[in-house]
Structure 1
Amino acid sequence: MKATIAWKGDALFEAKTDSGHTLTIDGPPDQGGKNQGPRPMETMLVGLGACTSFDVMMILRRSRQVVSDCVATVKAKRADEIPAVFTDIHIHFEIKGTDVSPKQVERAIKMSADKYCSASIMLERGGVKITHDYTIAES
């Protein structure tokens, strides 16, 4: 796996992935950015959210749960000092579906956190406290 990140001036970067996708990343305005893309640390949260959401949906589908929507909201706290690393991350899953089992959702989240989500496991091994919760709504 490889990504190439090219500086485009000021605080703007263009990332290209091995799979052929491009992502614009920009710094905050007070550091020369022009708000043309997400901040670098925001992309880490997006990666974590996408990684665990992918796992949760795959596990729920394999468990024959009828899910019509899954939204993960990822909130993080950062250290006050430099480096301003993540210290705490909370992931809230909003699951919609028909007769979705809370037990299956809990199982899917736990399996993602403990076994499958490389991003989550890597961050936790680095000292980040990651918590999860969920809501289920009928659709």
Structure 2
Amino acid sequence: MTEENRTTIHVERLAGKRYAATNSGRDRLLVDATSPEEGVSVGMRPMEALLASLGACSALDVMEVLEKRRTPPDFYRVELVGERAEEHPRRYMRITVKHIVKGGGVEDKHLQRAVKLSHEKYCSVHASLNAEIEFEAVLEG
């Protein structure tokens, strides 16, 4: 595998259930599993971050397609609802992705096509959620 096909993220514990995920460009994502009873959360929970990644990935794709058509909307938002299994590992069993578009002359058929292209061709997060992924755990002491 070439370096351009590899993504490296470092996740470091800050305190309690708080972690900072950092990429090679030094951008940070705060992840926090602190419950309301334990204190104030300062970041998304891991499964929320997964939904956010899916929504952002799809939004980037959809906007790129609409902008190429020269019909960018005046307002665009993606809302995601994830339904999780009751038993551990409590994975998402169903994810609803709602694309909300207003203004800019976007026709329904063009929005539908942009969303379809995102979900079926371009969004790597969506493809990863639907894929068999090989995982390897490496321990270092």
TM-score strictly above 0.5: yes
Counterpart of 2:125, as a letter, is A
Q: Is the 8 A contact 1:12 1:33 kept in 2?
A: no
Residue 88 of structure 1 corresponds to 94
Instruction: Please tell me whether residue 63 in structure 1 is matched to residue 69 in structure 2.
Output: yes
Any stretches of 5+ residues in structure 2 without a counterpart? 1-6, 133-141
Taking structure 1 as the reference length, what is the TM-score of the superposition? 0.84
Q: What's the CA shift for 1:89?
A: 0.3
Higher mean alpha-carbon deviation, 29-38 vs 57-66, is at: 29-38
**Of the candidates 78, 81, 89, which is equivalent to residue 75 of structure 1?**
81
What is the distance in 2 between the residues matched to 1:118 and 1:28? 29
Give the structure with the larger strand fraction.
1
RMSD: 1.7
Code of the residue aligned with 2:119 in structure 1: it is A
Q: What displacement does 1:125 show?
A: 3.1
Aligned 1:1-139 pairs, distance under 5 A: 1-29=7-35, 34-125=40-131
In structure 2, the CA distance between the partners of 1:66 and 1:5, relative to structure 1 (3 Å rule), is closer
User: Which whole-Å CA distance do the structure 2 matches of 1:77 and 1:26 have between them?
Assistant: 20
2:127 counterpart letter in structure 1: I
The 1:36–1:66 alpha-carbon spacing in structure 2 relative to 1, beyond 3 Å, is closer
Higher relative contact order (CA 8 A, sep 6+): 1
Letter in 1 for 2:33: G
Q: TM-score, normalised by structure 2?
A: 0.82
